[in-house]
Amino acid sequence: MSKVTIKVNDNGSYRITGDVELIDAEGNKFETKQTFSLCRCGMSSKAPFCDGTHKGQFESVVRAPKPEEE
């Protein structure tokens, strides 16, 4: 089984790649493909999926902390 990856796109969505089951708060399944994007700006009309509405209206650049060198 391959590892699932979630990429935090600069000024955009979460890009999910891998065999993932996406469910709502009641346990209902969303239909997904092997790769899909989830909204993180809150403006998508296709929530929880990204529809590109964020472009030019949402700013967020997140970086993981770099490991400290010993």
Positive or negative, the CA dihedral 21, 31, 12, 4 is: positive
pLDDT at 1: 64
pLDDT at 18: 96
pTM of the model: 0.87
Taking the chain (70 residues) in consecutive chunks of 10 residues, what is each chunk's mean pLDDT?
Answer: 92 97 98 97 97 96 89
Q: How many Cα atoms are found within 13 Å in the side-chain-facing hemisphere of 8?
A: 8
CA atoms of 59 and 17, how far apart (whole Å): 23
